[in-house]
Structure 1
Amino acid sequence: MVYGLAAVDGRGRIADQAVLRALGWTPGTRLAIRESRRLLIIHTDTHGVFKITKQGHLRLPAPVRHCSGLLPGDRVLLTAEPARGVLVVHPPAVLDDMITHCHSTRLDGDLP
């Protein structure tokens, strides 16, 4: 797994070269993007309508951002699984849920 944190800009671009490089995704790589339980699941697809920009950024189209609740400036957790060729984008709301659950089940009252 390769992890990255990146901000989504006003045009939906995410610039994390380390994560994209780990996946071997270069400008022009065609992608499929789907939403699953508020996560964005992205993989290569020779017939995909989305692609890595000429500048090497991942661009999330407006409908994709809207369905996952992403706003300009939001920071997302990127998890790449190079062996599977998959990138998962975790929006802030998903991170909030994961961390709240983790803290409530593992810290067992250790928080003030």
Structure 2
Amino acid sequence: MATLDDRGRVADRQMTAALNWTATTRLNIRHHDGLLAVTADPHGVFKLSKQGHVRLPADVRRAGHLRSGDRVLLVAHLDRQAITVFPPVALDQLVLPVLPGGEDL
């Protein structure tokens, strides 16, 4: 889990290091079915911050219903050079139905 800061940065350098992403790595970031997909893309218009953080653009944060301080789950796909970002609302949709009494929480 990582926390989204007020500038849209997700501070998890272990994830980007595992993917061998650097400040020069170009990224494609998009919203898809409630999740956010961050992929290495030589034609991508985004890149990591100088500190090695993924910065989610405002329009993508809005689409994912993300606010400053939200905790997100990051899942790395090493073979695809990608990270899937699970916003809180997506985690609720996945977890609550399988918890005993989860729908009532």
Aligned length: 102
Q: Does 1:35 align with 2:47?
A: no
Q: 1:55 maps to which residue?
A: 51
Q: Percent identity?
A: 48
User: For the residues of structure 1 that align with 2:9 and 2:24, how far apart are their CA atoms?
Assistant: 14
- Pick the aligned partner of 1:66 from 41, 62, 67: 62
Gaps of 5+ in 1: none
Which residue identity lines up with residue 74 of structure 2 in the other structure? L
Q: 1:88 maps to which residue?
A: 84
Q: 1:79 maps to which residue?
A: 75
Moved segments of 4+, more than 6 Å: none
User: For the residues of structure 2 that align with 1:88 and 1:62, how far apart are their CA atoms?
Assistant: 17
CA contact (8 A) 1:28 1:53 kept: no
Q: Could you give the per-residue CA deviations for residues 47-66 of structure 1, whole angstroms, max 9, x where no partner exists?
A: 11110011111000111100
User: For the residues of structure 2 that align with 1:61 and 1:34, how far apart are their CA atoms?
Assistant: 9
Gaps of 5+ in 2: none
CA shift for structure 1 position 101: 2.1
User: For the residues of structure 1 that align with 2:62 and 2:30, how far apart are their CA atoms?
Assistant: 12
TM-score, scaled relative to structure 1 = 0.86
